[in-house]
Amino acid sequence: MKIRNFTDVKAILLENRTVGQTIFKNTFWLAVGMGSNKLLKAFLIIYAARILGATDYGKFTFALAFVALFVIFYDFGLSVIVIREFSRERKEEFSSVLSLKILLSLGALILILIGSFFVTPDSAIRKVILILALFSLIESFANVIYAFFLGRQRMEYQAWATTVQTILVTGIGFFILFKFPSIENLSYGYLFSSLLALIFALLLLHFKIFPLRISWSKVIWKKFLIMSWPIALTGLFATLYTYIDSVMMGYWGLMTETGWYNAAYKIITLALIPVGLISGSFYPVLSKFFKESKEKLQGTWNYQTEIMIFMAIPLVVGGITLAPRIINFTYGLNFIPSILAFQILIIMTGIIFISRPLNDVLIASNQQKKIFWTTLLGALINIILNLILIPKFSLYGAAVATVVTSLVVFFLLFKFTSRFTVIKPLNLRFLFSFIIAAIASILMYFTVTQPIIYNLNVFFAVLAGALIYIISIFILRGIMRPIYERV
């Protein structure tokens, strides 16, 4: 689509016309909304670590991790199903989905309150858990509205809502850390800002999509719960192997180690932001093409996988190489133990990048039960490894357990995609993308390890490495273009 005037720009960013234009529009708005939201929240948490110190930061992240174990009960997989089902031109059932969310949220809140008495004897931490539980309840309710926007491929609405939430959370959070720094006050800041953001999302839904109403249809509840339960259990097990390490360390009283570990993990979550952006743009299109065209489904999946490979490999290589600079710059000398944990965890990041297209196409192909069995095995492996490794190696044992779990999940997703979908995951385009990215990453490594580059400010070092990588990619693709375009 050519851009001749402001009307063309508006059409590109606000309308769904072609597949390529729609993916671009979706990615743009997801980057504005979800990307900026995660980025600024991560900066807030990183600043909180510097202000609160490793021990108090460990207590806060322990409370967050414990609450996160129950978040799936707030949602029960509905957000993913909402995206899929309401991408198919149907919206009248959404009112009943909202009422189902209310019931699920109340049940999850009760579970958290009961569980908090078993996980810690510290009443101050239990109070923070309660506040963060209310925050998570409100955020989960907003997320199902965002999922509806995504399903309708109206990413601009989702972007507006999450931008408001970002401004509120970061603004209030930084104010509290400047004026009244404590984990309890920070928790109240999260709660208040999420409530205001939910109100904005509800108003947006009411005036931009359809009038807001609540419907109590047991038939629709049953329909959506039947579709969502495999994803819910999948999310539960995925949550377990994401957060159980922090909960275990906190339960065993390793609050400082929990702080070091989550300091490294928070940067990892920043690195994972593109995964959500890219997946959020491609998943509705994959769901649509599953019904329409096998060829378009394979082509779209190849394109998504190629992007993920080109981002994953340099991220791992650069992260391991520049880890000491990144941790010292971000947190200071008090967080030096986070360096090795970060170097281990960044490997998991690369695995997740390449795994996500497999996960997306399985759900789009109605094979979510396969993902359930995959994450069930992953959760069991992760819990066993954490029980063995954390007592011996502390936060580094937790990091290794996370990487091993991610690798097992990847291989299982690959196997299920090959067997139960029309997608051919191991194709020549996949291999050529991997080879090109690997060669370019090697060139990048030799560049950033030069003292003149490595000793620069960390931002300039990362920029130099990224520049060399991008130039290398273009050159290598140009050299291999005759072969590359035929696969």
Mean pLDDT of the chain: 81
C-alpha Rg value of the chain to the nearest Å:
22
CB 81 within 8 A of CB 227: yes
Mean pLDDT is lowest, of 13-27, 85-99, 420-434, 446-460, for: 13-27
Which of the residue ranges 58-62, 164-168, 358-362 would you say has the lowest mean pLDDT? Answer: 164-168
- Is the per-residue pLDDT at 292 higher than 60? yes
Give the confidence band of 25 by pLDDT, cuts at 50, 70, 90. Answer: low
Q: Which residue has the higher pLDDT, 457 or 26?
A: 457
- In the structure, what pLDDT confidence band is assigned to residue 21 with cuts at 50, 70 and 90? low
The pLDDT value recorded for residue 92 is 64
Question: What is the arithmetic mean of pLDDT over 361-381?
Answer: 84
In the structure, what pLDDT confidence band is assigned to residue 405 with cuts at 50, 70 and 90? Answer: very high
Choose the weakest-confidence range: 21-35, 170-184, 289-303.
21-35
Least confident interval from 195-199, 307-311, 469-473: 195-199
Instruction: Give tens-digit pLDDT for 129-151.
Output: 998 888 888 887 777 777 777 66
Band of pLDDT at residue 73, cut at 50, 70 and 90: confident
- What tens digit of pLDDT does each residue of 415-473 get? 998 888 888 887 777 788 888 999 999 999 999 999 999 988 888 999 999 999 999 98
Note the pLDDT of residue 410: 93
pLDDT at residue 361 in the model: 86
Main-chain phi, psi angles of 38, to 5 degrees: -65, -40
Model confidence band, residue 43 (pLDDT cutoffs 50, 70, 90)? confident
Q: In the chain, what are the domain boundaries?
A: 21-426
Q: Which of 248-252, 278-282, 403-407, 427-431 has the highest mean pLDDT?
A: 403-407
Nearest to 160 by CA among 208, 216, 110: 208
pLDDT at 426: 79
Residues 372-397: what's their mean pLDDT? 90
